[in-house]
């Protein structure tokens, strides 16, 4: 399924925008739309984002939930901070593996606006100011020059969402081609371990024999290939 990754400061309007996107696609398409995020996972934000190990576990849980819901028909919206570029790259690898398009929606606000919106929430829904400030400092803004952040839609406070552009990004673009690291590898044959051990022994013997006659800089032929390695 197409994946839409929300991104932005804490209290920057991500959930509101995610719901707007969900409503649009439910009204204009016959596809199911799933929102996965801090809210749906009932995350205690001030507890989770105060400790790196807990935050890492939550990111893993969110990614796993996205992966469970992936297919080629429905839409998944990941409504979380998604502020670490390495994490957004992991999500990009996930959609490459599943062969489905994606895009990033960046809710751009100032620190002052985010703080004001945070203060206007119900007390139990608020970030503490200490947590909010720390997350803002750690935030790595998306960059459309990075393939894992592209296509990128940057939305400011008063902007209307570019629904047509988002729709084209997830429905009309081709999925990124898988690379070797994201391709499913074929099952090994039953004698795989035997063959692996046999080849390993041949390579080791070639190296041991070369030690007897070779000097540093000599090239050694690797058994079973035309490749040579420097001794």
Q: Which pLDDT tens digit goes with each residue over 136-188?
A: 999 999 999 999 999 999 999 999 999 999 999 999 988 888 765 545 555 45
Cα gap 31→33, rounded to integer Å: 6
Task: Name 96's Cβ contacts closer than 8 Å, sequence gap at least 6.
Answer: 175, 176, 177, 178, 179, 182
Q: What's the confidence (pLDDT) of residue 174?
A: 86
Query: Is this prediction's pTM over 0.85?
Result: no
Q: What's the confidence (pLDDT) of residue 8?
A: 97
Q: What's the confidence (pLDDT) of residue 187?
A: 47
The whole-angstrom distance between residue 20's C-alpha and the CA centroid of its chain comes to 22
Write out the DSSP string of 97-140.
HHT--EEEEEE---HHHHHHHHHTS-GGGPPPHHHHHHHHHH--
The pairs formed by 141-144 with CB atoms below 8 angstroms and a separation of 24 or more are 141/106, 142/7, 142/85, 142/88, 142/104, 142/106
Structure tokens at 122: 């119900």
Which conformational region is residue 99 in: left (phi greater than 0), alpha (psi within -120 to 50 degrees), or beta?
A: left
Low-confidence stretches of the chain (pLDDT beneath 50): 182, 187
Per-residue exposure over 104-136, b if at least 16 CB sit within 10 Å of its own CB, e if not: bbbbbbeeebbbebbeeeeeeebbeeebbeebb
Structure tokens at 13: 């309007």
The whole-angstrom distance between residue 188's C-alpha and the CA centroid of its chain comes to 28
Would you say how long the chain is, in residues?
231
- Give the model confidence (pLDDT) of 112-123 as tens digits: 999 999 999 999
The pairs formed by 214-220 with CB atoms below 8 angstroms and a separation of 24 or more are none
Q: What's the confidence (pLDDT) of residue 213?
A: 75
Q: What's the confidence (pLDDT) of residue 65?
A: 95
Q: What's the confidence (pLDDT) of residue 194?
A: 64
Q: What's the confidence (pLDDT) of residue 1?
A: 66
Torsion sign over Cα 72, 75, 80, 81: positive
What single-letter DSSP state applies at residue 222? Answer: P
Q: Where does residue 45 rank: exposed (0-12), middle (13-18), buried (19+ CB within 10 A)?
A: buried
| Cβ count near 91 (within 10 Å) | 21
Cα gap 26→109, rounded to integer Å: 27
């Amino acid at each position: 399924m197409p994946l839409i990754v929300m991104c932005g400061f804490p209290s920057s309007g991500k959930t509101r925008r995610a719901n707007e996107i969900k409503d649009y696609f439910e009204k204009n398409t016959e596809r199911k739309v799933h929102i996965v995020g801090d809210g749906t996972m009932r995350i205690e934000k001030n507890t989770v984002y105060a400790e790196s190990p807990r935050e890492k576990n939550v990111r893993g849980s969110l990614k796993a939930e996205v992966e469970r819901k992936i297919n080629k028909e429905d839409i998944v919206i990941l409504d979380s901070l998604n502020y670490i570029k390495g994490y957004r790259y992991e999500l990009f690898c996930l959609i490459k593996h599943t062969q489905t398009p994606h895009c990033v929606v960046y809710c751009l606000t100032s620190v002052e606006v985010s703080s004001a919106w945070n203060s206007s929430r119900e007390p139990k829904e608020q970030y503490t100011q200490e947590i909010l400030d720390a997350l803002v400092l750690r935030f790595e803004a998306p960059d459309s020059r990075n393939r894992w952040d592209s296509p990128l839609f940057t939305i400011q406070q008063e902007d209307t969402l570019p629904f047509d552009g988002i729709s084209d990004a997830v429905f009309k673009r081709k999925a990124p081609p898988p690379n070797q690291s994201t391709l499913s590898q074929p099952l090994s044959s039953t004698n795989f371990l035997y063959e692996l051990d046999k080849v390993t022994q041949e390579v080791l013997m070639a190296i041991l024999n070369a030690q007897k006659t070779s000097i540093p800089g000599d090239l050694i032929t690797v058994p079973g290939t035309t490749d040579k390695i420097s001794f």
